[in-house]
A and B are shown apart, each in its own frame.
Chain A
Amino acid sequence: MSTFSAVKILSPPLFAARSSSPFLASPFAPPLSRSGLRSTRLPLPPLAVSSDVISGQNPIASDSSTSRHAEVSREEALVLYEDMVLGRVLEDMCAQMYYRGKMFGFVHLYNGQEAVSTGFIKLLEARDSVVSTYRDHVHAVSKGVPARAVLAELFGKTTGCCRGQGGSMHMFSSTHNLLGGFAFIGEGIPVATGAAFSSKYRHEVLKESNPNGLDVTVAFFGDGTCNNGQFFECLNMAQLWKLPIVFVVENNLWAIGMSHIRATSDPEIWKKGPAFGMPGHHVDGMDVLKVREVAMEAIERARRGDGPTLVECQTYRFRGHSLADPDELRKPDEKAHYAARDPITALKKYILEKNLATEWELKAIVTKIDEVIEDAVEFADSSPFPPRSQLLENVFADPKGFGIGPDGKYRCEDPKFTEGTAQV
């Protein structure tokens, strides 16, 4: 049935309230004629196509006040708080360690975006998969990869989650179903689509079924990726075959120094979902409870076998694109606006207002996380670097792929291979 059969043109106040999109009458749009163009191109209120899913929602749900989402229990709130704090402390420690020369290369930190990771990943089961980008440290720890393994990987030690071979941008964990960690943007989306395909295949062809539904895959990627071909190709395939996947756009408005508005003809990414026939949601990504609410629905939908969802989370990164980015293009008032909406502070405020926990308990959580991270740093510091013998391991799953040498034996049987000194 066509998603477009139930198009509702929303009345002005409802739509304006629903979307916290900064593009509409945004004070942060660059003062160029382009923004003038935008406001004439999109009349206020804009006519928006929304999927049945959104249009079916209670219209008051669009209000952005904090009280306006499903209630969360004390246990759940503390889990969310701890996870976000873990992400934040880890990233801050990464920055410290980088400037001390413990890690090198490109390091992309997630500060400010924790609500998106926590909001989604804490709803997943162990069997579900997460696919990320190069900004993957926090996705990794949210999914359950120990902080020790992540930090050791960042330090390039052999005890890292990828034995030191991947680095910051390639976090993988087969135990925790973290399928990467990809350096090129958009590259992970087809992989995520494949994991979702696998899930459907296992259910339909191999007849393995779980009473709770299909294994779900959540793919995280940014606003810049949404202009990439792989994004569109995968939206098409996922919806075509109703794959159990959730596409999560972490729209932090900037792709290194390229503002989303300067790169995208229609910056409202959530609308691209209905264009392919799947629901498209737009949510305030600085509010973990709102993200969680939308995530719950999207994940359930995938689990039932109803297909994919596109969720655009409006979020912001407090630091530059990477530790090498001087971050000169973003305006101070934009940064201040989002800094004031720090998701951790917001959740803390919510917890205290609702009396779900005391200030002391929350401080204890922070202290505990500090200790976890410090222990992880010590572990990573004291771990050994990979030995030479590790060089040629893992190039092939089946090392016969190195071929047959002049002496008739497989080259991988040559002792120089285990020593790592053979020339391949």
Chain B
Amino acid sequence: MAASLQSAVFLSNRIDPHRRLFASPARSLPGTKGSILVVRSDGRISGRLSGRNLITNAVAVECCFTKADTPTSSTDSKPGHELLLFEALREGLEEEMDRDPRVCVMGEDVGHYGGSYKVTKGLAPKYGDLRVLDTPIAENSFTGMGIGAAMTGLRPVIEGMNMGFLLLAYNQISNNCGMLHYTSGGQFKIPVVIRGPGGVGRQLGAEHSQRLESYFQSIPGLQMVACSTPYNAKGLMKAAIRSDNPVVLFEHVLLYNLKERIPDEEYVLCLEEAEMVRPGEHVTILTYSRMRYHVMQAAKTLVNKGYDPEVIDIRSLKPFDLYTIGNSVKKTHRVLIVEECMRTGGIGSSLRAAIIDNFWDYLDAPIMCLSSQDVPTPYAGTLEEWTVVQPAQIVAAVEQLCQ
């Protein structure tokens, strides 16, 4: 991989797969400051920063989540700092709390304990016990409390210690979070962020390994995003907090220790956009969260076998970024969806439907969807491994799709 860092590079439409672009909030942010880079994810640059040196981002972890890639020389002249994903979340949260005093956090053990995954560590001593509120174990009620606070001017970030616990808050999330803006005729907005770790971990057992994105996706009025790298975790956290819509931010238990170098400058990502991870020509692989890493691991094998997969991290689970996805489908004509959700009623099934509705004419093969088995996640390690999609299955699926 060459030292890819150049000065004054305006990127062409051909995107070097080894470069990472800053995705942009270009259209969205009213308060975009001069220091925020505004590059669209397809390489277009919106006016204000032309003439500035465009410095591409660092290498992110692209392989198995257990080891971080050593930063290559391309990062040498790039400032920026290295951190772990949970630290990136915290950094985003802290920046937003500094910026707007109405942003507050509530959840179990977020304050003195610093968060069960350390996302809120250090915030309570800095901001006080009211701004980083340790709640009793009453998900439905403290989620509702967050909603009431949001209606009356605050911007709470509600943490579910594990996403699965938010099943207890489903009443409030569906009825009030999702619908209240509509039933009140637009009088009250609910700018909450509901976040927490979900997904299959390391033998955590069935109830702690749930993927709630499939349950929440039908709720009208709700936006859902899933982060997968420190870079997009921080950017999505900030975007979610600034959004006036209720946003559910899905994190993954196994991704919290991912390391990446992220920019020093402030940046906010677009909540509705997908992320191009690896451009390619043969097949479009749509994925999100932890499965991104299984896909990238499979991609290495596929490249060795002569395939050229295009990998897109859809990031926005609701709504789907039909533009990025559509452009990809139009190019490759073959789609594989890899997700950690259950097969039935999962994000993959909705995505499949959306692609068929919009891009049927461009497909050369049926859309394949690899999801977790419709099985409560077993405790035993071997069984657990078989419920989740593994890289070998992805390789086999691509081979089948590309016949």
Contact A193 B190 (CB under 8 A): no
Q: Hey, what's the 0/1 contact readout for B238-256 against A, CB within 8 Å counting as 1?
A: 0000011100000000000
Contact B185 A394 (CB under 8 A): yes
A131 contacts across to B, CB distance below 8 A: 148
Which of B2-10, B71-79, B171-179, B337-345 lies at the interface?
A: B171-179
B101 touches A (CB below 8 Å)? yes
Residue ID in chain B nearest A231 by CB atoms: B141
CA of A397 to CA of B143, assembled, Å? 19
Contact B245 A187 (CB under 8 A): no
Contact A190 B180 (CB under 8 A): no
Contact A395 B182 (CB under 8 A): yes
Contact B148 A195 (CB under 8 A): yes
B136 contacts across to A, CB distance below 8 A: 233, 236-237, 240
B135 touches A (CB below 8 Å)? yes
Q: Hey, what's the 0/1 contact readout for B300-322 against A, CB within 8 Å counting as 1?
A: 00000000000000001011111
Task: Give which listed residue, B141, B143, B272, contacts A400 with CB less than 8 A.
Answer: B272
Which of B151-159, B226-234, B366-374 lies at the interface?
A: B151-159
Residue ID in chain A nearest B138 by CB atoms: A233
A164 contacts across to B, CB distance below 8 A: 185
Contact A405 B323 (CB under 8 A): yes
Q: Hey, what's the 0/1 contact readout for B317-336 against A, CB within 8 Å counting as 1?
A: 01111111010000000000
Task: Give which listed residue, B147, B172, B273, contacts A404 with CB less than 8 A.
Answer: B273
Contact A404 B323 (CB under 8 A): yes
Number of interface residues of B (CB under 8 A): 62
A221 touches B (CB below 8 Å)? no
Q: Hey, what's the 0/1 contact readout for B9-47 against A, CB within 8 Å counting as 1?
A: 000000000000000000110000000000000000000
A180 touches B (CB below 8 Å)? yes
Q: Hey, what's the 0/1 contact readout for A168-182 against B, CB within 8 Å counting as 1?
A: 001011100001111
CA of A410 to CA of B323, assembled, Å? 9
Residue ID in chain B nearest A403 by CB atoms: B319
B181 touches A (CB below 8 Å)? yes
Known A-B contacts A201-B130, A237-B136; A166 and B184 likewise in contact (beta carbons under 8 Å): yes
CA of A183 to CA of B175, assembled, Å? 9
Known A-B contacts A198-B154, A406-B323; A174 and B187 likewise in contact (beta carbons under 8 Å): yes
A165 touches B (CB below 8 Å)? yes
CA of A164 to CA of B359, assembled, Å? 37
A1 touches B (CB below 8 Å)? no
B199 touches A (CB below 8 Å)? no
A204 touches B (CB below 8 Å)? yes
A160 touches B (CB below 8 Å)? yes
Contact A406 B144 (CB under 8 A): no
B27 contacts across to A, CB distance below 8 A: 410
A411 contacts across to B, CB distance below 8 A: 319
Residue ID in chain A nearest B321 by CB atoms: A404
Known A-B contacts A198-B152, A396-B221, A402-B319; A172 and B130 likewise in contact (beta carbons under 8 Å): no
Contact B181 A396 (CB under 8 A): yes
A181 contacts across to B, CB distance below 8 A: 183-184
B70 contacts across to A, CB distance below 8 A: none
CA of A402 to CA of B223, assembled, Å? 8
A195 contacts across to B, CB distance below 8 A: 148-149, 151-152
CA of A236 to CA of B185, assembled, Å? 32
| A412 shortest CB reach to chain B, Å | 10
| B325 shortest CB reach to chain A, Å | 8
A361 touches B (CB below 8 Å)? no
Task: Give which listed residue, B28, B141, B154, B319, contacts A193 with CB less than 8 A.
Answer: B141
B140 touches A (CB below 8 Å)? yes
CA of A172 to CA of B359, assembled, Å? 42
CA of A240 to CA of B316, assembled, Å? 38
B111 touches A (CB below 8 Å)? no
Contact B185 A166 (CB under 8 A): yes
Contact B185 A398 (CB under 8 A): no
B123 touches A (CB below 8 Å)? no
Q: Hey, what's the 0/1 contact readout for A369-411 against B, CB within 8 Å counting as 1?
A: 0000000000000000000000001111110111111111011
Residue ID in chain A nearest B153 by CB atoms: A198
B185 contacts across to A, CB distance below 8 A: 160-166, 172, 394
B197 touches A (CB below 8 Å)? no
Residue ID in chain B nearest A177 by CB atoms: B152
B198 contacts across to A, CB distance below 8 A: none
Contact A179 B245 (CB under 8 A): no
CA of A183 to CA of B183, assembled, Å? 11
Task: Give which listed residue, B140, B181, B318, contacts A230 with CB less than 8 A.
Answer: B140
Q: Hey, what's the 0/1 contact readout for A97-139 against B, CB within 8 Å counting as 1?
A: 0000000000000000000000000000000010100000000
Count chain A CB atoms within 10 A of each CB in B27, B141, B272 and give the residue with the most.
Answer: B141
B112 touches A (CB below 8 Å)? no
Q: Apart from A165-B184, A180-B180, A408-B323, what 10 extra A-B contacts exist at CB < 8 Å?
A: A172-B184, A179-B188, A182-B175, A196-B148, A198-B152, A233-B142, A236-B138, A240-B136, A396-B181, A403-B322
Those 8 A-B pairs whose CB atoms lie nearest each other, nearest first: A194-B148, A190-B144, A403-B319, A163-B185, A162-B185, A172-B184, A233-B141, A191-B148
Q: Can you list 19 pairs linking A and B with CB atoms under 8 Å apart?
A: A162-B185, A162-B187, A165-B185, A181-B184, A182-B176, A190-B144, A194-B152, A201-B131, A201-B149, A201-B154, A204-B130, A233-B140, A234-B145, A241-B130, A396-B221, A397-B190, A404-B321, A407-B323, A408-B323
Please list the residues of chain A having a beta carbon within 8 angstroms of any beta carbon in chain B. Answer: 129, 131, 160-167, 170, 172-174, 179-184, 187, 189-202, 204-206, 229-230, 233-234, 236-237, 240-241, 393-398, 400-408, 410-411
